[in-house]
Amino acid sequence: MKRALTMAASLLALAAAPATAQNVAITNATVATGDGSAPIEDATVVVRDGKIVAAGTGINVPAGVQVLDGSGTWVTPGLFATMTNLGLWDVGAVRESNDIRAGGSPFSAALDVAPVVNPASQHILIHRAAGITRAAVSGAASGSIFAGQGAIIDLGSDAQAVTRPRAFQVVELGEGGARLAGGSRASAQALFRNALLEAGEFERNGTITSPGGGRGITRQGDDIGIDSRMARTSRDRASDVLLTRFDAAALVPVARGEQPLYVMVERAADIRSALALKQEFPRLDMVLVGASEGWLVAREIAAAGVPVIADGLDDLPQGFDQLASTQSNIGRMVKAGVKVAINAAAMENPRNLNQYAGNLVALTRIPGADGLSWGQAFAAISSVPAAISGMGGKAGVLAPGAMGDLVIWDGDPLEVGSMPVRVFIDGVEQPLDNHQSRLKERYRDLDESDLPKAYDW
């Protein structure tokens, strides 16, 4: 049996400590730093004042730091989940508890999930217990091709989950965008271009709805990568405005390249069309999401310098835009030089990320398939998604100065049977109990005295 029980006993005192950053060193553990390198045996990790001080071998533990023997355990940075809806819903089928979709809203790009993330959501607690310490949260496109502005959250047990509001904008093109835009990919493309043009006009004039209005701002259209010949005045086009002024304002930082644009596409042709948008709007800071057929255009993606957030277990098509999907997709894109983060196929259940990463490691043993090395796979669920989310070097790594997010596992975290023993966020040890764990304990045996009163006859 793994030596997790001895580790749990060693850390019992920490569990009762107040929620403040702890100075702690974990020694004699197998350490994965999250930077793509192989795990290091008999290594040490030092956390002080909520930050990583050191990780590796030959480290002298500073005086005054509590030392924990991590023999038999693994220590890694916290997992970073991308494109989730954590904190946006309680029961999916209960509309009043579900803030993922807003199909009846008059707004689209202006929708902002940051004010509605619930840090007490059981889904946050459950995923914290699975080793996820930070996540990118987004709603889903429903009334428009734009899903709105996503946020970066930490999964700590405090009331302040959102660490970066309005961190990215989400647009759905391809098959999903076609449905939302009127039934055609051509319509989705036209709607997207029109939206950026309206954002450009709002940036120049401060309005897109009042004929002849504006604040007298004089700024050329090509300042945000838009052909000035296409930028008409509000008086010229007052009757064909499609965005509210709030949606247009929300897209201004996207058009100026100040806010990443997550573009949801799957098939190779749609990926090429998305990459072509960067030529038309060169300031777009684009991230591809999905990209089931990305391996077919991997060199083009790499040449464009566009990162990808791809489903880790796409091996069969779920639609006509995924006919060439293969589990080798991520491995082949990485081999071509694409920066790829592993995404959970179901946005509400990213706790399987380490399992997906482990599958890609196993794929390297299959002739003709393309997987990832252990270090590459773990980086794809830690440092790479953190970098794509604008937190490179700060999260997803055990490096000096990085956030003190770390997980102590009872075994190899890419093995299905391994579980977190302890989780730290910003150097603060986190509770791992949740509704599911309490139910497990309640019904661990068949003693009927443990049944709730509702079961009395």
Beta strands in 329-382 (DSSP E): 340-343
Residue 177 domain boundaries: 80-388
Say which CATH number the domain at 409 has.
2.30.40.10
pLDDT for res 16: 39
Of 226-230, 338-342, 369-373, minimum mean pLDDT range: 226-230
Same domain, 274 and 181: yes
Higher pLDDT: 310 or 228? It is 310
Same domain, 34 and 64: yes
CB atoms inside a 10 Å sphere around CB 416: 11
Of 317-331, 345-359, 418-432, minimum mean pLDDT range: 345-359
Same domain, 23 and 146: no
Cα separation of 254 and 266, whole Å?
Answer: 21
Higher pLDDT: 315 or 303? It is 303
Same domain, 294 and 237: yes
Same domain, 59 and 182: no
C-alpha distance from residue 141 to each of 109, 194, 260 (Å): 9, 17, 17
Same domain, 38 and 167: no
Question: pLDDT digit string (tens) for 43-55?
Answer: 999 999 999 999 9
Cβ within 8 Å of residue 331, ≥6 positions away = 360, 363, 364, 369, 370, 371, 372
What's the average model confidence in pLDDT over 140-159? 94
Question: What pTM value is reported for the model?
Answer: 0.86
Whether 270 shows a pLDDT value over 80: the answer reads yes
What's the average model confidence in pLDDT over 209-218? 34
Q: Is residue 447 part of a domain?
A: no
Q: Is residue 287 part of a domain?
A: yes
Cα separation of 426 and 430, whole Å?
Answer: 10
Higher pLDDT: 349 or 306? It is 306
Structural domain total, the chain: 2
Question: pLDDT digit string (tens) for 130-144?
Answer: 999 999 999 999 889
pLDDT for res 223: 52
Backbone angles phi, psi at 355, to 5 degrees: -70, -45
Same domain, 210 and 264: yes
**DSSP code for 158:** S
Q: Residue 95 corresponds to which tokens in the numbers above?
A: 């509309």
Question: pLDDT digit string (tens) for 240-258?
Answer: 567 888 999 999 999 999 9
Question: pLDDT digit string (tens) for 289-300?
Answer: 999 999 999 999
Q: Is residue 276 part of a domain?
A: yes
Same domain, 137 and 19: no
Per the prediction, the chain carries an average pLDDT of 87
Q: Give the model's confidence band at 456: pLDDT under 50 very low, under 70 low, under 90 confident, else very high.
A: low
Question: Is residue 384 within 8 Å of residue 40, measured between CB atoms?
Answer: no
Q: Is residue 451 part of a domain?
A: no
pLDDT for res 11: 41
Q: Is residue 452 part of a domain?
A: no
Q: Is residue 453 part of a domain?
A: no
DSSP 314-333: --S-SSGGGTT--TTHHHHH
Q: Is residue 393 part of a domain?
A: no
pLDDT for res 346: 64
Whether 239 shows a pLDDT value over 60: the answer reads no
Of 219-233, 342-356, 417-431, minimum mean pLDDT range: 219-233
pLDDT for res 15: 41
pLDDT for res 93: 80
Residue 133 burial (10 A CB sphere; 0-12, 13-18, 19+) = buried
Higher pLDDT: 448 or 209? It is 448
Say which CATH number the domain at 137 has.
3.20.20.140
pLDDT for res 268: 97
Same domain, 237 and 161: yes
Whether 387 shows a pLDDT value over 60: the answer reads yes
Q: Give the model's confidence band at 68: pLDDT under 50 very low, under 70 low, under 90 confident, else very high.
A: very high
Q: Is residue 53 part of a domain?
A: yes
Cα separation of 42 and 417, whole Å?
Answer: 22
pLDDT for res 6: 42
Of 118-127, 161-170, 308-317, 438-447, minimum mean pLDDT range: 438-447
What is the DSSP pairing of strand 286-290 with strand 261-265?
A: parallel
pLDDT for res 218: 30
pLDDT for res 129: 96
Same domain, 300 and 269: yes
Of 109-113, 221-225, 241-245, 326-330, minimum mean pLDDT range: 221-225
Same domain, 202 and 272: yes
Cα separation of 26 and 4, whole Å?
Answer: 13
Cα separation of 157 and 17, whole Å?
Answer: 14
Of 66-70, 102-106, 384-388, 401-405, minimum mean pLDDT range: 102-106
What's the average model confidence in pLDDT over 396-421? 96
pLDDT for res 232: 46
Q: Give the model's confidence band at 262: pLDDT under 50 very low, under 70 low, under 90 confident, else very high.
A: very high
pLDDT for res 205: 78
Same domain, 87 and 115: yes
C-alpha distance from residue 360 to each of 356, 376, 389 (Å): 7, 9, 22
